[in-house]
């Protein structure tokens, strides 16, 4: 298990656009494993490569509810439906939570860790996590979309 340090707000890399993943090699597999380890250690449900300082279009998600580890490489949102306002947080902005409007249902096209294309539709927390993490790949932090910040302990 290898933990990588999580970049926090103020780090200029978090505002940069990540480049596509091109090589599906052992180095990529190690990065994916490290990202899961780092995310679980920090008790998050999603992590983008840029958050550990790698500017490539890769995210890992595990919402718990879905009971699976999801790897999205070079993801694209191909369909969205509805609007849901709920609180979210980010491992790069520790200790804060704010309400963000996201689609209620999201369909994403992505490559898996072997470079094979797949399509995944998610609702609820999974839809929110996919949108939040894909935003990271474009240098967008959820703080720029927050409609209302929550007081500490509110809505938990």
Residues at the interface with Ni ion (CB under 5 A): 90
Q: In the structure encoding, which two tokens stand for residue 66, read together?
A: 């879905």
Residue whose CB is nearest to Ni ion in the complex, by number: 90
Kindly state the smallest distance separating residue 56's Cβ from Ni ion, in Å.
16
Question: Measured between alpha carbons, how far is 93 from 82 in angstroms, rounded to an integer?
Answer: 27
Which one of 133, 147, 154, 156 is the catalytic residue?
Answer: 133
Judge whether 61 and 72 are in contact, CB under 8 Å. Answer: yes
Nearer Cβ to Ni ion (72/90): 90
Nearer Cβ to Ni ion (12/23): 12
Query: 82: which residues sit within 8 A by CB, 6+ positions away?
Result: 103, 104, 105
Kindly state the smallest distance separating residue 35's Cβ from Ni ion, in Å.
12
Whether 113 is catalytic = no
Collapse the DSSP code of 94 into the 3-class scheme (helix H, G, I; strand E, B; otherwise coil) and give the result: coil
Kindly state the smallest distance separating residue 14's Cβ from Ni ion, in Å.
9
Nearer Cβ to Ni ion (90/137): 90
Closest CA to 138 of 52, 6, 19: 19
Kindly state the smallest distance separating residue 114's Cβ from Ni ion, in Å.
25
**106-137 exposure pattern, b = at least 16 Cβ within 10 A, e = fewer:** bbbebbebeeeeeebebeebbbbbbbbbbbbb
Nearer Cβ to Ni ion (21/39): 39
The set of catalytic residues is: 133
């Amino acid at each position: 298990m290898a933990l990588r340090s999580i970049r926090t707000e103020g780090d200029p890399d978090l505002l940069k656009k990540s480049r596509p993943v091109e090589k599906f090699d052992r180095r990529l597999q190690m990065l994916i494993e490290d990202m899961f380890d780092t995310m679980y250690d920090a008790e998050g449900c999603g992590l983008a490569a840029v958050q550990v300082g790698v500017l490539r279009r890769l995210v890992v998600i595990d919402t718990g509810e879905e009971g699976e580890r999801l790897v999205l490489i070079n993801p694209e949102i191909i369909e969205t439906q509805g609007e849901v306002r709920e609180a979210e947080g980010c491992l790069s902005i520790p200790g804060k939570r704010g309400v963000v409007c996201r689609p209620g249902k999201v369909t994403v096209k992505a490559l898996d860790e072997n470079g094979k294309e797949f399509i995944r539709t998610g609702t609820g927390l999974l839809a929110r996590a996919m949108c939040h993490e894909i935003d990271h790949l474009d240098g967008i932090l959820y703080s720029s979309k927050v409609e209302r910040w929550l007081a500490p302990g509110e809505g938990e």
